[in-house]
Amino acid sequence: MTSTGTGTGTGTGARSGAGAGSDPGSRAALSVAELRRRAADLLPALAEGAAERERARELPHAQIRALAAAGLLTFRIPTQYGGAGATVAEVFEFLIDLAAADSNIAQALRPSFGRVEHLLTASDEERKRWYPRLLAGDVFGNAGWELGGPSGAVRTRISPEGVVDGSKYYSTGALYADWIGLAAVNDDGEKVFFTLPRDRPGLELVDDFDGIGQRLTASGTTRLTGVTVLPSEIAKRPAGSGRSPVTPFLQLYLAAVEAGIARDALRDAVAFARDRARPIEHSSAGRSVDDPYVQHAVGEIAARAYAAEAAVLRAAAAIDRAWAGDLEPGLLTTASVEAAQAQFFAAESALKAGELLFDVGGGSAVAARHNLDRHWRNARTVANHNPRAWKAAVVGAHHLNGAEPPLNGLF
């Protein structure tokens, strides 16, 4: 594994000088229909090379840049800021399509979509600063999780002078990004959130992620050694500690990735049965596609992929209702519960689809050259972000006792 260097460049695939894209004000506003048209043009090529990229561990720098340049990270930017003003359900339709084409790319772009959503709850000043960057094709990464200490704890420190030292273990999409969102703890024990250009001196992005799945999400280590943070780079946190619509959005994003994986497994199951598989010796069928057990396996994968997608879009509609209802607390709670339900089922569906895929072929289906195991590995890796058992338990407590889901980043 290699490092991108410490503050001496932007690394392979990123643009020289973070945020050095086209003039942020130069783009004409795009409609949802136009964004869908562009997605339809780009996604087939992404899907075509996804399995081989993962097998060869070829990081999709060019593919991510093409998506960003086409404006496909900007669905939810409001029209008054030059965006398409898409609903939550509309963006999740695209995200499922994207994950079905390449779930690594979809996961790597979660921080960019999350940034758009966070800005919907931020000040007008912050929106005017960051929305133009996204509209210009900039990509955002995230460096949050740390090893050691309680889950969710931040030990990276920021001094009163704005100097940061620490290390982040899990940095989703950072190697593809122009900007990195980070958190540190100040001398008062408070979390401070800030965004840095990726070529800031002392900021080092390391390509060392070794997960069994989602291997191309560029989620390696971020090291910060004497990194200077300017006051203007520190985000203003909204007052209060109530439930945010951003959390169910980000949780539902994981469910959308799982739904996309299930659909991709279906595509591979159909292709393998049609083009490569042979019926077992004692089968009554002359072709695998006529074998009733192969048909059953493909039918179950199809049903699970269908239901996972439907669950995600239903939960997305609940988030839309919360926005339409001025983020009334009860609507936000409902959105959080529905996102948890969808996440539980989508993860289960993707894992089962990845397993059933092998029932459509014989011994040849496990050949490494086909890379069919990537679906289960990718689904398992995404599912491990947040344990499904806790999702089910929290949902059950809500239905049984009216208990509120926890106020944290998982609900």
Residue 239 lies in a domain: no
| Residue 67 structure tokens | 């998506």
User: Does pLDDT of 283 surpass 90?
Assistant: no
Assigned domain for 34 exists: yes
Q: Are residues 7 and 79 in the same domain?
A: yes
**Residues 126-182: tens digit of each pLDDT:** 999 999 999 999 999 999 888 876 777 899 999 999 999 999 988 999 999 999 999
State the chain's mean pLDDT as an integer: 91
Q: Work out the pLDDT band at 15, boundaries 50, 70, 90.
A: low
Q: Range of 361's domain? A: 246-401
Q: Which two tokens stand for residue 7?
A: 């503050």
Burial class of residue 141 in the structure, from the number of CB atoms within 10 Å of its CB (0-12 exposed, 13-18 middle, 19+ buried): buried
Point out the domain boundary residue: 139, 173, 196: 139
Lowest mean pLDDT among 45-49, 116-120, 308-312, 384-388: 384-388
3-state secondary structure of 224: strand
Inside any domain, residue 19: yes
Asked if 40 and 173 sit in the same domain, the reply is no
Residue 127's CB is within 10 A of a number of other CB atoms, namely 18
252 and 397 housed in the same domain: yes
Angle at 408 between CA 166 and CA 190, to 5 degrees: 45
Q: Contact 87/28 with Cβ under 8 angstroms? A: no
β-bridge pairing 140-143 and 163-168: unpaired
Residue 20 has pLDDT above 70, yes or no: no
Per-residue model confidence (pLDDT) at position 238: 66
Rounded Cα gap, residues 334 and 321, in angstroms: 10
User: Do residues 28 and 106 both lie within one domain?
Assistant: yes
Domain annotation covers residue 177: yes
Asked whether residue 409 is domain-assigned, the answer is: no
304-362 confidence digits (pLDDT tens) = 999 999 999 999 999 999 999 999 999 999 999 999 999 999 999 999 999 999 999 88
Q: For residue 285, what pLDDT is reported?
A: 66
- Report phi then psi at 388, rounded to 5: -65, -30
Q: Residue 253 and residue 94: Cα distance in Å, rounded?
A: 11
Residue 23 has pLDDT above 60, yes or no: no
**In the prediction, which pLDDT does 12 show?**
37
In 3-state terms, what secondary structure has residue 296?
A: helix
Q: Is 175 a domain residue?
A: yes
pLDDT interval class at 395 (50, 70, 90) = very high
Residues 6+ apart with CB under 8 A from 2: 206, 207
Question: How much is the average pLDDT of 12-25?
Answer: 45
**311 CB-contact burial (10 Å; exposed 0-12 / middle 13-18 / buried 19+):** buried
Q: Which of 233, 258, 288 is the last residue of a domain?
A: 233
In this prediction, residue 287 carries a pLDDT of: 78
- pLDDT at residue 76 above 60? yes
SS3 3: strand
Same domain, 95 and 188: no
For residue 285, what is the domain's CATH number?
1.20.140.10
- C-alpha Rg value of the chain to the nearest Å: 22
Q: What are phi and psi of 328, to 5 degrees?
A: -60, 135
Residue 385 in any domain: the answer is yes
Per-residue burial over 251-269, b if 16 or more Cβ lie within 10 Å, else e, is: bbbbbbbbbbbbbbbbebb
Q: Cα(181)–Cα(115) distance, rounded to whole angstroms? A: 9
Q: Are 255 and 346 in contact (CB under 8 A)?
A: yes
- Whether 68 is covered by a domain: the verdict is yes
**Average pLDDT of span 263-269:** 97
Do residues 185 and 258 both lie within one domain?
Answer: no
Q: Please name the residues in contact with 239: beta carbons below 8 A apart, sequence gap of 6 or more.
A: none
Please give the Cα distance from 361 to 351 (Å, whole number): 18
Q: How many structural domains compose the chain? A: 3
Could you tell me which of 42, 249, 25 has the C-alpha nearest to residue 132? 25
Query: What residues form DSSP beta bridges with 222?
Result: 168, 205
Domain end: 201, 233, 265, which one? Answer: 233
Q: How many helices (H) and strands (E) does the chain have?
A: 11, 8
CA atoms of 357 and 294, how far apart (whole Å): 9
Q: Tell me: do 353 and 258 sit in the same domain.
A: yes
189 and 252 assigned to the same domain: no
Say yes or no: 63 and 122 in one domain.
Answer: yes
